[in-house]
Chain A
Amino acid sequence: MKIRYRYPAMILVALVVMLAAVFAQNQTYTPGEFQSTNPNYPKPDPFYFEGRIDWNLLGISQPQNAWDYMERGIHYQDDMDDIPDAIADYQTALSMNSLQNNTCQIVTAATVNKYGGTLPAQLTPAPCIFTLRLRLGYLLEQTNPATAIELFQEVLQIDPQRLGVNTLIAETYVSEAQQSTDPTTQQQDYANAVTAYQAELALSPITPQSVALTGDMANNSKVHWELAQVYEATGQNSLAESELESYMQATQWHSDDYPWRVALAKSQIQTLQMAVK
């Protein structure tokens, strides 16, 4: 190429390249690579994430550990309505996070400081997962109540103060009692249910402070309602009446999912009072 054409050509090429570069810059912007690890997959530190993470966000092609199996089980249960596969995954998860085969532990001690205490990043074996036990136990309540109760009791080993677990135990005993034809077994199941319900109430007691702060003279209406039904079923009418009174107090400012129960409780109290007289 003659020299007189060379530079104009180079300038032309340079301008084309430059304009192309400018044009390209206007289309996208990359400030830095988005983090390399999946922000939705939690690495235990040292406790597992308890609860549910949307399965599509986890990027798990094949579950590798107890938590992975639990999350897939939740996906089957919540998203696919596939209870058999959910139970199977929960059971696999449990086999990998089990007190019986020492693949999990109950954490009972930690170095506590004012902000939250200190724990190593990893515990060996790993901490036991309570969501797994609650989910599997719930699905086994009707078909295998004994195992369900064992699982719920393991949750109480992990966290004795977790609300609602004693209620699940009680409900399982009530279910067993209702299915039983043996009066002795039935009485024992109901007695166990009462014990569990009372343990639930003890976790959130009415105190002078709570009354002053809330005005509530009773709480946990669901437990009071259920206890009343148990007492009524076992012929303990005065206790049933007492629980219904507590139910009325607990619903005063909170009503109920089933609001007709409030009117029914009032009616039942009158009936029980007449029966006692």
Chain B
Amino acid sequence: MRVRYVNAFVSLFLLCALEPGCGTQVQSTDNPPDVQFKPQQFQRPENCLPCHQRQYDELHGAVKSGYRNVSPLFNGLESAGNLVSGGLLRPVYHDSTIVLPDGTVLNTNMYSSPILTETRQVQAGFCFTCHNADVEILGENPALREVPQLAGLGTCNPAPPAGQQCFQPQQFRPLRDYIMVDSNGNQVLPTAPGGAPPNGAQPSLAAAGITCDFCHDENGPDLKRSFQMDGFGNASLLFNQSDVKVGPFQFPVAVKGGFHVASNNQSLVAFLTAGAFCNTCHDVRVPNRNLTAEEHNINQGGQNVSYFRLENLSTEWQIGPYNSTSNPFSQVVRCQDCHMSLFPYAGTSTYQVGDMTVTSPTPGVFATDYAAVPGVATDQDAPLPLRKVVEHYFTGVDVPLMSPAELSSRLGPNYPDPYATGADTHGVPNGLATRREDLMKAAVRISLKKSDTSAQLGQKFTVRLEAVALTGHRFPAGFSQERTAYVQLTVKDNNGFLLYQSGYVIDKPHPNTGEMTPDGNLNDEDLEHLHAIVDPGVHTATYTSGTGTNGGNNLVFEVGPDDGPDARVYVGAPEGLVLFRNELTHIFLPGQPIGRTDPSTGAAVTAQGVHFEETFQAALANSVDNFRSLQPLQPRTFDYEIELPTTQQMQAIGVTVQGPLHVHAQVNFEHFPPLFLRFIASVTSASGPSGNNLNLMDEQRIDTYLKNVESIASDDATVALTP
């Protein structure tokens, strides 16, 4: 090599090494990026199966993979949002002719908008973008489009331009209707909206949801899509549709037949293996004005896009102790260390949190295995090294609300049974339900040690419950305004007579969804702090968006006997339910209908002042309290000031209270509040705004599949009864 070439080569290296942007930092680039490798369209995970069987099998049963896309809950929630807004949450594409009130054309969606400058751009594909960004990108090509743009987005008032129709709720289909194909790969739809899968229907690419390509085609964060320009939330992720796949390893082995090449871009490898990668989707910021916390898109031109924080998981981790070395493990504990490792099946650690001594599973322990199938995956059958590998189960708090047969009918044969028994070759249970339960049991600890040690009839005494979350984020997290963790607490005398209860449920009828008598099942019962029923709306001949006929407000909203959450948060009273669930709030402004009618006049009840009320329709929230959940590694003490009955009162009912008293506390996890599921059932029923039964949720499904996890942590205390 001539000296001058060597010189140039060396200079290039030096320049590159000295240049901060060379390899050390991912630049936010326009999508699609300048692809240097062979283009390769997003693929189905089955294409990866021959060489990555284990990873395929694990991902197959992960809820973020196939299940989420056919989930009756996800589809119902997305439908409810669309039925109140006139379909605004469905994607639009480049060929859209929708004109916004300011005269601009709405032809980009949440993913394709270079900068999100209009609320309607964020709404366009709001749910679909995170769950199916790759399919939304492909949808720019009408031939590959799975989820169409709906006609007449918004409303009939004002009337749409000549030649265009109004939003037609009776034609509205849940997302899962669109994600089926025939044997030729052509889209097939159920006969009626929400109907059964047509004979021979197979899952489409969108049915696979978060696929291998979704993650391994990553091309760094898209800082311009994140509202704070930090790569957090709303699918702030760039994709590289090529045969280069980003994996976690240094020095990857050459792939057989050049099916793909493994990326050597160390910045992208580092991104994939960092919490930052998960951050791109695990904050969800809803484009509604938050009336109690002003936040807006800080990208240039984005100031009109305000938002509130629905899922705030990534921010919670980012600012929490596990994204530092100030935690019991003295090292950063990433998302991958709990949700892609052998956790919680790789031993335990004991440590101190405040004055609590905690023993819990150790994060960040990985199995040793081959990353691909030996003898199949490599060029010239080159030997594969044994490596520390990750699990692709992504276990979280969710299990399917569907039977294995239903799952297989929509997602292909042999869908994993969520309640399967046995364990895999790494010793991890096969059944998602088991993994979820074990994960939940690693999440929180409680102690009653600080409670009063004696009590007297006719007097008050105080139970002090200390609780600490061991999670990397707050507990619960994710859709934390509905995911429910709470304390069930009882005080009994020595004969088992119940003196006090909190966090209890009662078997009762649910006439609004057809359960006319108690059914013997407690998993479908709401906690007794609040009695609420949400208006499902009704179908009307001419559609008008909003809550008027489309529901969403509370038809019934009453204080229950165990109203600890509000009493504790707003009043500071030491009583009632300890609920770790966050809260979505609808702030009604003076004069605005709150959803109920005056029994004497029949007129709509309007807000007389500024009225705060919990809402279960996320699309109506304009405030959120994300601080009711437990902070990680920050113990909190909750007092229960309990009034014991007098001797005379007990005599009146023929009871002699015998000491000592026994206090039992346990933390339970509720998948979703039943009243929330009943709202989804009603709003997507034939009597709801669409006029069709979308076959997503009903009382039977709630009764069959809503399985709560009880006693993920517990403690007991004894209290002497003094004369």
Contact = CB atoms under 8 A, between A and B. Distances in A.
Q: Do A and B actually bind? A: yes
Given A213-B512, A260-B498, A255 B655 contact: no
Contacts of A135: 570-572
5 contacts: A25-B266, A26-B266, A29-B271, A115-B620, A258-B500
A6 to B, nearest CB: 9
A255 B528 contact: yes
B499 A260 contact: yes
Chain A CB within 10 Å, residue with most, of B546, B605, B627: B627
A57 B630 CA distance: 12
Given A7-B10, A21-B23, A204-B558, A160 B609 contact: yes
A170 B597 CA distance: 26
Instruction: Identify which of B17, B506, B528, B623 gathers the most chain A CB atoms within 10 Å of its CB.
Output: B17
A183 interface: no
A47 B221 contact: no
Given A159-B611, A257-B501, 13 more contacts: A26-B269, A29-B267, A31-B230, A107-B609, A107-B610, A115-B288, A115-B620, A127-B610, A134-B572, A160-B608, A255-B528, A257-B576, A260-B653
Shortest 8 CB-CB contacts between residues of A and residues of B: A42-B293, A114-B546, A35-B228, A45-B294, A110-B589, A117-B589, A253-B508, A31-B231
Contacts of B511: 212-215
Given A45-B289, A117-B589, A57 B547 contact: no
Contacts of B269: 26
Given A14-B17, A21-B17, A159-B611, A255 B220 contact: no
Interface in B8-42: 10, 13-14, 16-18, 22-26, 28
Interface string B554-586: 011111111100110111110110000000001
Nearest to A139: B572
Interface stretch (B61-69, B642-650, B697-705): B642-650
Interface string B525-554: 000100101000000000001111000000
B598 to A, nearest CB: 8
A214 B512 contact: yes
A210 B528 contact: no
A205 to B, nearest CB: 5
A131 B315 CA distance: 26
Contact of A49 (B279, B293, B556): B293
A108 interface: yes
Interface string A87-116: 000000000000000000011111010111
A9 to B, nearest CB: 10
A58 B663 CA distance: 35
A50 interface: yes
A43 B294 CA distance: 5
Q: Using C-beta atoms within 8 Å of the partner chain, give the interface range for chain A.
A: 35 or more
B57 interface: no
A213 B293 contact: no
Contacts of A117: 589, 592
Interface of B: 3, 6-7, 10, 13-14, 16-18, 22-26, 28, 220-221, 223, 226, 228-232, 250, 266-267, 269-271, 274, 276, 279, 288-295, 306, 309, 312, 315, 318-319, 497-502, 504, 506, 508-509, 511-512, 528, 531, 533, 545-548, 555-563, 566-567, 569-573, 575-576, 586-587, 589-592, 594, 597, 599, 605, 607-612, 620, 622-623, 625, 627-628, 631, 634, 636-637, 643, 645, 649-650, 652-653, 655
Contacts of A44: 292-294
A65 to B, nearest CB: 15
A18 B13 contact: yes
Given A209-B597, A216-B531, A260-B499, A52 B587 contact: no
B572 A74 contact: yes
Contacts of A51: 569-570, 625, 627-628
Given A112-B591, A260-B655, A50 B645 contact: no
B133 to A, nearest CB: 17
A258 B643 contact: yes
A57 B230 contact: no
Nearest to B265: A25
A48 B231 contact: no
A246 interface: no
A195 interface: no
Interface of A (DSSP majority class): loop
B592 A112 contact: yes
B589 A255 contact: no
Contacts of A258: 499-500, 643, 645
Contacts of B293: 42-45, 49
**Max chain A CB contacts within 10 Å: which of B14, B560, B622?**
B560
B396 to A, nearest CB: 22
Contact of A48 (B25, B292, B620): B292
Given A7-B7, A253-B506, A31 B571 contact: no
Contact of B24 (A24, A78, A221): A24
B24 A21 contact: yes
Contacts of B559: 163-164, 204, 220, 222
A49 to B, nearest CB: 4
A71 to B, nearest CB: 10
Contacts of B7: 7
B251 to A, nearest CB: 11
Contacts of B315: 39
Interface in A152-186: 157-164, 168
Interface of A: 7, 10-11, 13-15, 17-18, 20-22, 24-26, 28-35, 39-40, 42-54, 56-57, 74, 77-79, 106-110, 112, 114-117, 119, 121, 127, 130-131, 134-135, 138-139, 157-164, 168, 204-210, 212-216, 219-222, 251, 253-260, 263-264, 267-268, 271
A215 B531 CA distance: 12
A237 B560 CA distance: 26
B504 to A, nearest CB: 7
Contacts of B533: 213-214
Contacts of A26: 250, 266, 269-270
B590 A109 contact: yes
B3 A7 contact: yes
B561 A254 contact: yes
Contact of B563 (A39, A106, A164, A209): A164
A47 B561 contact: no
Contacts of B561: 221-222, 251, 254-257
Contacts of A221: 561
A257 B10 contact: no
B592 A18 contact: no
A257 B562 contact: yes
A31 B220 contact: yes
Contacts of B652: 264, 267-268, 271
A108 to B, nearest CB: 5
Given A7-B6, A163-B559, A47 B649 contact: no
Contacts of A267: 652-653
A231 B631 CA distance: 45
Contacts of A10: 10, 14
A255 B504 CA distance: 9
A14 B274 CA distance: 28
B556 A214 contact: yes
A50 B292 contact: yes
Contact of A42 (B232, B292, B306, B607): B292
Contacts of B504: 255
Q: Which of B22, B231, B291 has the most CB of A within 10 A?
A: B291
